[in-house]
Structure 1
Amino acid sequence: MAAEITRVFDLLKYSLEKPKQEFVNGKIHGKWVNYSTAEFCDAVDYLSRGLIKVGMAKGGRVAVMSHNRPEWNIADFAANQIGAYQIPLYPTLAEHDIKFILKDAEVSIIFVADQDLYEKIKPCADEVNPNIKIYSFSEVNGVDNWKVLTDSGKSATDINLDDYKSKVSGEDILTLIYTSGTTGTPKGVMLTHKNLVSNFLNSLVIIPEGGKKGLSFLPLSHIFERMIIYLYLYNRTDVYYAESMETIVADIQHVKPNLFSTVPRLLEKVYDKIMEKGKSLTGIKKNIFFWSVALAEQYTIDAGAWYNFKLSIARKLVFKKWQEALGGEIVVIVSGGAALNPRLARIFWAAGMPVFEGYGLTETSPVITVNRMGGTMFGTVGEVITGVEVKIAPDGEVLTRGHQVMKGYYNRPDLTKEAIDEDGWFHTGDIGELIDGRFLKITDRKKEMFKTAGGKYIAPQMLENKYKESIFIEQIMVLGENRKFPSALIVPNFETLKTWAGRKGINFTNHAELIKNDLVLTKYNEEIEALSIGFGKWEQVKRFALLPTEWSIIGGELTPKLSLKRKIITEKNIDIIEKIYKDAESYKAPN
């Protein structure tokens, strides 16, 4: 009989029922490190005892700042099975956010990955509380390695972990996750064992038969990827961590995963690179390539026999190579964190690599809805998972209720009251609709919608997702609150643009010079006009500015999950924005 799972750490006992040699694996400094189930569970227990020996107990606070690697999970389980709160810290966090979190969460122990992250967090920790203990996963000069704790715990046979585990219930807090948000101070989201256990048990619908090897590269600091890893363990899926985005191609070829989770932008990049290769083909090969892509754009799950016959040819001649580029063994890809372009979803499905788009927030553990085999509608984020309710408020906001809703915001009962009403409905801040009463479609963030000077409502995300279909556009932000018309700031896909510029004989010495070229500006105007078809005249972007530098987390323009920090982007580019509208003062807004 399988172990009952009511707390996250129950996954370990469950996993020991069917142990394996490659349980959790990671590529660190160019080498694969493999933990068998027994080795992993032993390391967790040793670390738990080591933590207890240095004073950690139920309600204690353990932070982890590390890239994805098996030790991240070991530290997570070691903390949560003795009832301590685990606090993930994004490696890309700004110093002021690190200080705020360490102080607000009252962290007493931090695990860091390596020298770079130690040097980043040490000054912050010293300023907040010099008594915070720091341990490293990799060897760092002058810093205690995490194995100091495991070695200490290994000999601490007098500590009975069952006594500690028995005091942890499903209602107890598992983790505090601080949402960076697009504005304001981070908020600590309190998620319980029950939140996460219920979420991964009911998200099992996304893993079809054959999902036995999962590759992970999205940050574990985000609840989406963390829940996915718990789900993999429950499904007895082997976990492999890619070393970095720079090594992802080689890591995929080594692992040959059946599953991975991603954000839409990464799928867009894969698609853009494939399309660039397609454009470099000649003759009949080029014709077959673009015939296959055009066919894929028409894909429907219940297509007829004639379409499926043509698709089988396209898969043999073209899409088999796409599959091989992603390891050749993909069963399903799970996409979240942002809206997936329906056209892109159709193409990947047609290529034999189904993409299940889901929806949720940190505050909802995270999954609320997800597409799945036998229940997928392109352009939506799927149906609710078991135990979850969704309804649409009169103003269009998506509300949800169920086992997935957080306990509240740490130290902020005022914000908790704002977010969760008296009937238990969590207000997501997203605008959406239910298609056929089943499939949820998200149209925009409530706070990001704006009115033009003419009183027309604009949903910027919907426009941005459409414009990003252009292989020439890397990033885009639509704006225009209280202005005559919407405009946009655009960061070009410089790899694609440079290739195009070379074919056109355009000379340039840097990005700033390239984006001022008249032919380039004309090209982007054509791209925007072509993709504006289908939107109302008042919604269409009428003016734009090209920017020479990509927005980034480090630059402060993006959140750790790659959402736009609109206020910051606006402030940094206010002069450019003012010039857009000054140059168009004579422009008459459309009706």
Structure 2
Amino acid sequence: MTTSQTRLDPITDLKAGAPFDPPVRSTGHMLRNRVASTPHRRAYSFPVADRSGDDTWKTLTWGEVGAQASEVAAGLITLDVQPEDRVAIACTTRYEWALADYGIVYAAAATVTVYPTTLADDVVFIIDDSDSRVVFVEDADQLAKLSGLRSEIPKVHTVVLLDNQVPVDADPSWVITMNELRRRGRERLETHPGEIDARIDATDLDDLATLIYTSGTTGRPKGVLLPHRVLVFEVLTMDGTLHRTSPDEHITIDDKQFLWLPLSHVMGKLLLMTPVHIGFETAIDGRVERIVENLPIVRPTFMGSAPRIFEKAYNGIVTMMAEEPGPFGIREKLFHWASRVGTKVFEADYGTSGTTVSRWERAQARIADRLVFTRIRERFGDRIRYFISGSAALNSDVSRWFGAAGMTILEAYGMTESGGGSCLGTPGTYRTGVIGRPLDGMELRIADDGEILFRGAGVMDGYHNNPAATAEALDDDGWMHTGDIGELDHDGYVRITDRKKELFKTSNGKYVAPALMEARFKGLCPVASNLVVIGDGRPYVSALVALEEDTVMAWAEREGVAGDYTAVTADPRTRDLVQGYIDELNLSLNRWEQVKRFQILPRDLTVEDAELTPSLKLRRKPVAAHFAEQVEANYA
């Protein structure tokens, strides 16, 4: 590898079922190649608070990131971290998370991810079950959570504080700072200069790279064993598939990613490794409340996200237009006209309905773009080529609107167990309402009962310490059972219809698939945060509706609905508003699927109350338990 190269070559000939034998043997090997190839190119930018508390954005080159990762790796070696030893990270999305992870892979250890919002009992389980010996924590709050559990995690001998702010009551025999770890690492590098390279060279594809505990919608988290093979495969196949299907629109070294997703999620992990392979810059800041503010500052060309962020952005724009309609409501009317003509043309070009549009309608769409969508793109930084959506179903109407606005959302599908990415809608194969085709090298088939099965180098080795769950997920022929129900059309496109375990049957014997109904409703109703469809064993389908506080309060102010959030959600006018969108949803459903009754919840669902996973997936059992009174009111 010469330093004059600007990127690592994509692999565009991965064949399903063929042996996987890539030129890089580990994620550490991949990072070392990147640092050697483009040491002076920008790798990361991230916010740093100045004296006044305002953000300034600091940048680092790949050479600087590589040097810092080597210090962290050598520091871990001074803590007696051996190859494949587990090192946990409990931190929000920030540069220090990425640095800790890169240091772990350089040391040939394995990263264990812990969401900072994880409840204490699950933190104990994850750290103890994974045999983690060192834990990186973000700040004093995360340290306090861990300190309170110290007697229950006896294998942990060192905690490293990433923000370097040590509380006065911290035990110095147990807690060190990231600065101290790196200082020890620099000393180690001076006395053992070839040690990091030796560890990288000794690491191979089947060695453990990361242990990710699925947040799960039910039961204890399961530790997914992902060797380097899975992560290397995922990065190479996504890059290669984009090159093959979209030769003029693939991601290049000159792109820029905005990364806010939780890095404890497998999608976040992949978005850490993809720039290592391709070499583009990543702007990283996990403060969700700053996403909208950051976009015009960062000016990314692409961004990965969960569907909820796109739904909130769309609903926010709709609300803004309603709040500032202009004289005679001209701005709002213009916005809705542009949305109609734009989505019609986009659906004709990229949809599955087979509709056509006239030259006049295309001309209208071009006018709409100049008058409306150009300004909207400026709010997103004016450089977005596409977004990538994953982790849950994306509402098709929201997808079409973003496409009409010139910011196509590519849907990705996968699980932690399949490395995060198994199917991807690429610019060259894009269709609305589907999740694209299987990535190159990944085999897919639909079982007799409709379940989607995968096989290939991107599939996990199994669940840690859980042979029964492993046997249930992986059959004797190597097929991974996803638990998702789907369809494969004659062109090879995959459509998810629901989760196998979430399908329910009413007392009338009719099956209902709730997830797609819930996603559709959130795209229809601008004030909705979540819809929970209920009806298992019941005579009809009902729902619980949680409202987005900022959006519904803005609506309430415009409509003269007085009171706080609780009062607004209980107001009959709010119910009438939601009823209208429930009626609209029902028009698209079979009779037995239609929502007959609903209750508006007095608060939104939260991660802290275990009603949502950290990646914002719905946990149905806790919701049903916490709002049992509202559920029963639907059937009173």
Tell me if both proteins adopt one fold, taking TM over 0.5 as the criterion: yes
* CA distance in structure 2 between the aligned counterparts of 1:32 and 1:506, rounded to whole angstroms: 42
Q: Is the 8 A contact 2:164 2:179 kept in 1?
A: no
Alignment partner of 1:447: what SS? coil
Aligned CA distance change for structure 1 residues 501 and 254 (closer, same or farther; 3 Å): closer
Alignment of 1:14 onto 2:33? yes
Q: Quote the residue 1:73 is aligned against.
A: 98
CA distance in structure 2 between the partners assigned to 1:53 and 1:499 by the alignment = 55
2:109 to 74, 78, 84: 84
Contact 2:319 2:554 survives alignment (8 Å)? no
Q: Alignment partner for residue 155 of structure 1, among 187, 210, 220?
A: 187
The one-letter amino acid of 1:151's match is: R
Is this contact kept in 2: 1:26–1:243, CA < 8 A?
no
| More moved, 38-47 vs 149-158 | 149-158
Partner amino acid, structure 2, of 1:166: D
**2:337 equivalent in structure 1:** 291
TM-aligned CA deviation for residue 220 of structure 1: 0.8
Stretch moving more, 485-494 or 378-387: 485-494
* 1:487 maps onto 2:542 in alignment: yes
CA gap of 1:200–1:306, structure 2 versus 1, over 3 A, is farther
Q: State the alpha-carbon separation in 2 of the partners of residues 91 and 235 from structure 1.
A: 29
Counterpart pick for 2:562 among 494, 500, 507: 507
- Which residue of 1 is the match for residue 219 of structure 2? 184
Query: Does 1:136 pair with 2:136?
Result: no
Question: What SS does structure 1 have at the residue aligned with 2:213?
Answer: strand
Which stretch has the larger CA shift, 371-380 or 199-208?
A: 199-208
> What is the CA-CA distance between 1:437 and the residue it aligns to?
4.3
Specify which of 310, 314, 317 is matched with residue 271 of structure 1.
314
Q: 2: CA distance between counterparts of 1:73 and 1:499?
A: 38
Counterpart secondary structure, 1:491: strand
Identify the match of residue 171 of structure 1 among 193, 201, 206.
206
Change (3 A) 1:401 1:320: same
- Map 1:207-218; keep pairs closer than 5 Å: 208=250, 212-218=255-261
Percent identity of the aligned residues? 31
Q: Which residue of 2 aligns with 1:585?
A: none
Once the 2 structures are TM-superposed, how far is the Cα of residue 93 of structure 1 from its aligned partner? Answer: 0.4
Which residue matches 1:587? none
Aligned twin of 2:150 = 125
CA distance in structure 2 between the aligned counterparts of 1:131 and 1:458, rounded to whole angstroms? 46
Q: Secondary structure at the match of 1:23?
A: strand
Aligned partner of 2:625 among 568, 571, 576: 571
1:497 aligns with: 552
Runs of 4+ that moved beyond 6 A: none
Q: 1:432, 1:443 within 8 Å by CA — same for their partners in 2?
A: yes
Partner AA of 1:418 in structure 2: E
Structure 1 212/506 Cα, relative in aligned 2: closer, same or farther at 3 Å?
closer
Question: Quick one: which amino acid aligns to residue 353 of structure 1?
Answer: M
CA contact (8 A) 2:98 2:272 kept: no
Kindly state the Cα deviation for residue 288 of structure 1 after the two structures are TM-superposed: 1.9
Distance 1:226 1:486 in 2: 38
Which of 501, 510, 530 does residue 447 from structure 1 map onto? 501
Residue of 530, 540, 545 corresponding to 1:475:
530
Report the Cα offset of residue 543 of structure 1: 0.3
Which of the numbers 281, 290, 295 marks the counterpart of 2:325?
A: 281
In 2: Cα distance, 1:162 partner to 1:503 partner: 63
Distance in structure 2 (CA, Å) of the matches to 1:22 and 1:166: 26
Count, aligned residues:
581
Deviates more, 1:286-295 or 1:245-254: 245-254
Does the 8 Å CA contact 1:82/1:168 hold for their aligned counterparts?
no
Q: TM-score normalised to the size of structure 2?
A: 0.88
Q: SS of 2:46's equivalent?
A: strand
Q: 1:131 offset after TM fit, Å?
A: 4.8
Q: Which residue of 2 aligns with 1:226?
A: 269
2:58 alignment partner AA: V
Q: Is the 8 A contact 2:257 2:283 kept in 1?
A: yes
Deviation of 1:130 after TM superposition, in Å, equals 7.0
In structure 2, what residue type is equivalent to 1:367? G
Which residue of the partner structure matches residue 443 of structure 2? Answer: 389
The answer to whether the Cα contact below 8 Å between 1:27 and 1:243 also exists between their aligned partners in 2 is: no
C-alpha separation in 1, matches of 2:59 and 2:497: 42
Q: Does 1:145 pair with 2:177?
A: yes
One-letter identity of the residue aligned with 1:286: E
Residues 102 and 125, structure 1, Cα contact 8 Å, conserved in 2: no
2:16 aligns with: none
Residue in 1 aligned with 2:477?
A: 423
Structure 2 Cα separation of the partners of residues 319 and 172 of structure 1: 48
* 8 Å CA contact 2:319, 2:555 repeated in 1: no
Task: Render the CA deviation track for 1:147-206: whole Å, top value 9, x for unaligned.
Answer: 212111212233222222222111111000001201101110000101010101111145
* 1:256, distance to aligned residue in structure 2 (A): 0.6
| TM-score normalized by the length of structure 1 | 0.95
SS in structure 1 at match of 2:595: coil
Residue 418 of structure 1: how far off its partner (Å): 0.7
CA contact (8 A) 1:430 1:442 kept: yes
2:43 to 1, 6, 23: 23
How far apart are the structure 2 equivalents of 1:254 and 1:503? Answer: 31
The unaligned stretches of length 5 or more in structure 1 are 583-591
Equivalents in 1 of 2:211, 2:575: separation in Å? Answer: 46
Task: Please list the CA deviations of residues 560-584 of structure 1 after superposition, one character each: whole Å capped at 9, or x if unmatched.
Answer: 11111100100111122112101xx
Q: Deviations over 1:48-68 (max 9, x none)?
A: 111112211112111111122
Cα distance 1:281–1:504, how it changes in 2: closer, same or farther (>3 A)? Answer: closer
Once the two structures are overlaid, the 10-residue window that deviates more, 484-493 or 77-86, is 77-86
CA distance in 1, matches of 2:33, 2:114: 28
Q: Which residue of 2 aligns with 1:34?
A: 59
> How far does residue 546 in structure 1 lie from its aligned partner after superposition?
0.5
Which residue does the alignment assign to 1:349?
A: 403
Between the aligned partners of 2:105 and 2:237, the Cα distance in structure 1 is: 21
The worse-fitting range, judged by mean Cα deviation, of 90-99 and 139-148 is: 139-148
In the TM superposition, residue 84 of structure 1 has moved relative to its aligned partner by 1.2
Distance apart, 1:233 and its partner CA = 2.4
Q: Secondary structure at the match of 1:164?
A: helix
Q: Distance in 2 between matches of 1:405 and 1:332?
A: 27
Assess if the C-alpha contact under 8 Å between 1:342 and 1:378 holds in 2: yes
The residue that corresponds to 1:408 in the other structure is 462
